[in-house]
Amino acid sequence: MREDYIEQALKVVPDANILINVVSRRVKQLRYNGRPLVESLERLDPEDIALRELIEGKISYELAED
């Protein structure tokens, strides 16, 4: 994963544990024929695509209420 994407994503999701969960769930979707929500001129790994989607506001997350 690209370090600059991780740093930017942590500004959107400040809790690293939540960030890992959000990104891993989206990576699974991308690996099972999910379509990327961002365009890129370079070939990106699913992890980097998920981070960019989060950074650009294409995906979001919601915490469950107790």
For residue 63, being part of any structural domain is answered with no
For residue 64, being part of any structural domain is answered with no
Identity of the residue numbered 3: E
Tell me what pLDDT residue 64 has: 84
Domain containing 31 equals 3-55
Residue 49 has pLDDT above 90, yes or no: yes
Q: How many angstroms separate the CA atoms of 54 and 12, rounded? A: 7
Q: Where are the alpha helices (DSSP H) in the chain?
A: 3-12, 16-31, 46-55
Residue 44 has pLDDT above 80, yes or no: yes
For residue 50, being part of any structural domain is answered with yes
For residue 61, being part of any structural domain is answered with no
Q: How does pLDDT run across 16-41, given as a tens digit for each residue?
A: 999 999 999 999 999 999 999 999 99
pTM of the entire structure? Answer: 0.91
Q: Which are the contacts of 2, defined by CB distance < 8 A and separation ≥ 6?
A: 48, 51
What is the number of structural domains in the chain? 1
For residue 15, being part of any structural domain is answered with yes
For residue 65, being part of any structural domain is answered with no
For residue 44, being part of any structural domain is answered with yes
